[in-house]
């Protein structure tokens, strides 16, 4: 009997194939378990970090109702290409706000439409991470844009380089 012929064909027996299959499955399972373990190690344990922006700036927009007491209800509708916050009716002094991550591709833009008494106005409340809005030439050193709605119009918080303080700048009229 030729032993070389027997050894070459011995791997084809059902027992050998079964052992080979078990070894393959064990190796794949072991590798899969290692991969899962490594993923767990590199994933932040604090799941609240997952809500934050990773590698991008986490911005906030605040719209505060600074209209006088006993005045008609302010109505606001804010949206972007991807988010629509619906109609909001903030009380006097209430802060309607949201947060978002800067866009990877293109430009992030949020606009709001405001109605108060017989007046209405729509404009971008965020389209530039450095100044909140493109037509503001004062840099915003924070990660938020703060707006106030007042009887004479809309105010944007700006930074005063001279004394290092923030102030509300009249940005737009209602008309």
Strand order, beta sheet including 119-126: 84-88, 75-79, 110-116, 119-126
* pLDDT confidence bin for 102, thresholds 50/70/90: confident
Question: Is this structure's pTM higher than 0.75?
Answer: no
Q: Which of these, 47, 93, 99, lies nearest to 78 by C-alpha position?
A: 99
The mean pLDDT value for 143-156 works out to: 95
Task: Determine which helix (DSSP H) or strand (DSSP E) holds 25, and give its type and residue range.
Answer: helix 14-42
Query: Which of 9-23, 112-126, 151-165 comes out lowest in average pLDDT?
Result: 9-23
Tokens linked to 16? 């050998």
Level-2 CATH architecture, domain 50-172: Sandwich (2.60)
- DSSP-assigned states of every residue in 26-39: HHHHHHHHHHHHHH
Between CA 142 and CA 157 the distance in angstroms is: 10
pLDDT tens per residue across span 60-81 = 999 999 999 999 999 999 999 9
User: Where exactly are the structural domains of the chain?
Assistant: 3-42, 50-172
- β-strand 95-101 against 58-65: which pairing, if any? antiparallel
């Amino acid at each position: 009997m030729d032993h070389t012929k027997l050894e070459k064909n011995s791997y084809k027996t059902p027992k050998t194939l079964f052992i080979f299959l078990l070894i393959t499955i064990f190796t794949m399972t072991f590798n899969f378990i290692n991969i899962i373990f490594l993923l767990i190690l590199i994933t932040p344990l604090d799941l609240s970090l997952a809500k934050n922006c990773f590698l991008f700036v986490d911005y906030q927009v605040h719209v505060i109702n600074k209209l006088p007491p006993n005045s008609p209800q302010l109505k606001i509708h804010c949206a972007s290409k991807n988010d629509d916050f619906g109609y909001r009716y903030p009380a006097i002094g209430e802060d309607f706000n949201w947060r978002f991550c800067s866009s990877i591709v293109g430009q992030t833009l949020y606009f709001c439409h405001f109605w108060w008494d017989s007046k209405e106005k729509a404009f971008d409340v965020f389209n530039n991470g450095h100044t909140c809005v493109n037509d503001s030439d004062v840099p915003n050193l924070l990660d938020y844009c703060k707006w106030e709605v007042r009887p004479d119009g809309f105010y944007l918080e700006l930074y005063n380089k001279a004394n290092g303080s923030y102030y509300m700048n009249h940005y737009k009229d209602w008309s």
